[in-house]
Chains A and B, each alone.
Chain A
Amino acid sequence: MAVLSEEQEMLRNMARDWATKESPVSEFRKVRAAGQPQAYNADAYAAMAEMGWVGIIIPEAHGGSDFGFSSAGLVVEELGKTLTASPLVATTIAASAILLGGSDAQKAKWLPRLASGETVATLAIDEGAHCDPSAIETSVSGGKLTGKKAFVHEAHGASLFVVAAKDGLYLVEKGDGVSLTTRKLTDQRSHADIQFAGAAAEKLEGGGDSLLGDVLDRARVLSAAEMLGMAQAVFDTTLDYLKQRVQFNQVLATFQALQHRMADLFADLTQMRSAVEAGLQAVDSGFGVARAATIAKAEANRVLHAISNQGIQLHGGIGMTDEFNVGFYLKRARVLEASWGSSSYLRDRFARLSGY
């Protein structure tokens, strides 16, 4: 855990307290049982906005607290631990796009609404099953945007989309010319393909040529923070289980084979935390963001992948049951691993950034 300021510690404790008491995994089970495509509890999201969590990266002038990504990451990590379903990450990333590329008028119009929770927003970038920002066909003509976006996170709850077109990022409101097709993924959260057919679009003119890449890097570090919380939760739950479960008249935690496997996973988790925290800090400092975000997400992918698999293996048969939570983490893990860059995509990007 990075060394925190007093404010950050309060924020983290508040988020931990809320997630544990108000949003344990049983709340996600309720969301799942309700079967709504939006796949989150609107009251819970309103409470999160009320506590100021959507506005953490938004300047005070626009209704936020301007605490930065490191602070946002603390909250997202705690929510990841309990698999809290909400559009907090999606909206925060969309807000960062408006902050980086929006005009004063766009910021004044949208940021307060995002911070208050009134408007949910999300990124609509990729057009196929993989992260590939170089393969965008969506185009804009006369202020009308046309194209197809695939597997958009939190699409059902969102009323504002940050859409990638060939010549940059655009804001598109849900309405005429925007139609959703629900895509049910294994994590049972909100995902949809979106058809934009001449939808009214307003360009984010600022931010320069690197705007899309910069926004994706922010998506990477914040998703990595969610993954960090998930990895920590699976690790802790598995360790607790090994200390309770008895076989051959022995607690499993006394078996050296399992001790060494947990020591390996603990080392991996330590590495992941260092990479993720450094990624968040890099966004706040503005220094070496592309590289730090790539390392953060690559390590998050590698380690959560391993821990989510070992979580099942070490729980044994009960880990395979729907009654136990560990499987939920596995399913959400793979969706987040595929988001904003798979492991191979990120290693390729790291090599490119390093010049080989």
Chain B
Amino acid sequence: MPTQVESDVQTSEDAFRTEVRQFLATNFPDELKGTGNMMAGLDGPTDENPVQKKWREAVGGRGWGTPTWPKEYGGGGLTKGQARIIEHEFAKVGAYNPIGGMGVMMFGPTLLEYGDERQKLEHIPPICRGEIRWCQGYSEPNAGSDLANLQTFAVDKGDHYLINGQKTWTSGGQWADKCFAIVRTDRSDKHKGISFMLIDMDAPGVEVRPITMISGTSPFCETFFTDVKVPKENLVGKEGQGWTIGKRLLQHERTNISGGGRLAGMMGQSLGDIAKKYCETGGDGALVNKVLRDKIADLEIRWNSFLLTARRAVEESKAQGGVSEISSVLKKVGTKLAQDRSELLIEIRGFQGLGWEGDEFGDDELEDVRGWLFGKAATIYGGSTEVQNNIIAKRVLGMLDHQ
């Protein structure tokens, strides 16, 4: 027999599920079924059509794209249980969450924690409505893995700061409305001299240049700041608190990069099935090239373990009510396996798997080549594999600092 409390929860969950279904029936247009979330993508501008816009406004208006964020700032004000119901019900009818991007994944949660009341009221609601695109001003030419070495400087000019310097690897910088950045306000202390500021990308003195990558695409930019005025109210937290706030934001970033679901999506078709199309098979349907077959099996076994590990991390986090120590290995393992897979795909396809352009190549073949190249970034960004190893050794294994 369920207790009274349990049955009350059950009743209210059922009622909420009904509400979500009714909302979907009324607002979700069939023509968007199974399509993706353009706003959350980093590699293209938002070209919303009116139908997509209407769907975004419907979800954003209720705060359901950010269901657990507080209602007073435009979020849904819902419980985690209700958020899961939204996720399930949306997935069931092939509806995407139109609210996404860095504002949702990284900046919003950080501002909710560290921002003042006025900042939250100004910046969170447009994120919940999917109206503003944020980009990340972190890395600099001489501050990659050693991020705290950043030199972009903000001079105190009384009612505003004057910013000069350069950021790089600004994802989606060419399409962003605003930038959350860590900048130096004090040269005498490496970590305590950093502050967290919000910069308008339209402000005079901001210049964005897309960087062409080895994959031929330009998802990242160089961003130059020349005498850019930033009002004082755009400082988040206190001066010198930027490293603490900035690191907190990186935790949100890592959780998103290593999210099992996203990586699982990258590993669509079984490599064995693909190989059977490109390579000779025997009478029993097995690949004739036993060495290649062995390599494929080895990779797929390890990939399966990774998916099991990602699932275990989620289960343990739920049970323990905190981040499981397993999550520290997810980024490192997942990105490496994805790269190994791309390399093996080339071996399977031969020259046909190295096409740059041309109708003689299939779309999947061309996409996989670009994916192989762009995938090299995965073990570099979001804390390189080497940085991840430092973190595991120090924080999980308790090995001493090497510096």
A-side residues, CB < 8 A to B, are 1-3, 239, 242-243, 251, 253-256, 258-260, 262-264, 266-267, 270-275, 277-278, 294-295, 298-299, 302, 344, 346-348, 350-352, 354-356
Contact = CB atoms under 8 A, between A and B. Distances in A.
Given A253-B400, A271-B309, A355-B273, A350 B329 contact: no
B286 A267 contact: no
Per DSSP, chain B at the interface is helix
Given A260-B393, A295-B305, A243 B294 contact: no
B389 A264 contact: yes
Contact of A356 (B276, B332, B399): B276
Given A254-B401, A260-B393, A278-B308, A348 B316 contact: no
Given A258-B399, A271-B305, 15 more contacts: A2-B312, A2-B315, A3-B315, A251-B400, A254-B399, A255-B402, A259-B397, A266-B392, A270-B309, A270-B326, A274-B309, A275-B308, A352-B286, A354-B272, A356-B293
B304 A263 contact: no
Sort A-B residue pairs by CB-CB distance and give the 6 closest, nearest first: A356-B272, A259-B393, A274-B308, A263-B389, A347-B297, A263-B392
Nearest to B310: A274
Contact of B304 (A260, A264, A295, A348): A295
A267 B294 contact: no
A255 B398 CA distance: 13
Contacts of A267: 329, 332-333, 392
B285 interface: yes
A203 B361 CA distance: 58
Interface residues of B, number: 45
A299 B301 contact: yes
Given A267-B392, A344-B294, A254 B402 contact: yes
28 contacts: A2-B312, A3-B315, A239-B399, A254-B402, A255-B402, A258-B399, A260-B393, A263-B388, A270-B329, A272-B305, A273-B312, A274-B306, A274-B311, A275-B305, A275-B308, A294-B301, A295-B304, A295-B305, A298-B301, A302-B302, A351-B286, A351-B297, A356-B272, A356-B275, A356-B276, A356-B281, A356-B285, A356-B286
A351 B315 contact: no
Interface in B244-258: none
Nearest to B316: A3
Contacts of B396: 266
Nearest to B325: A270
B267 to A, nearest CB: 14
A1 B309 CA distance: 10
A263 B275 contact: no
Contacts of B394: 259
Interface string B328-349: 0100110000000000000000
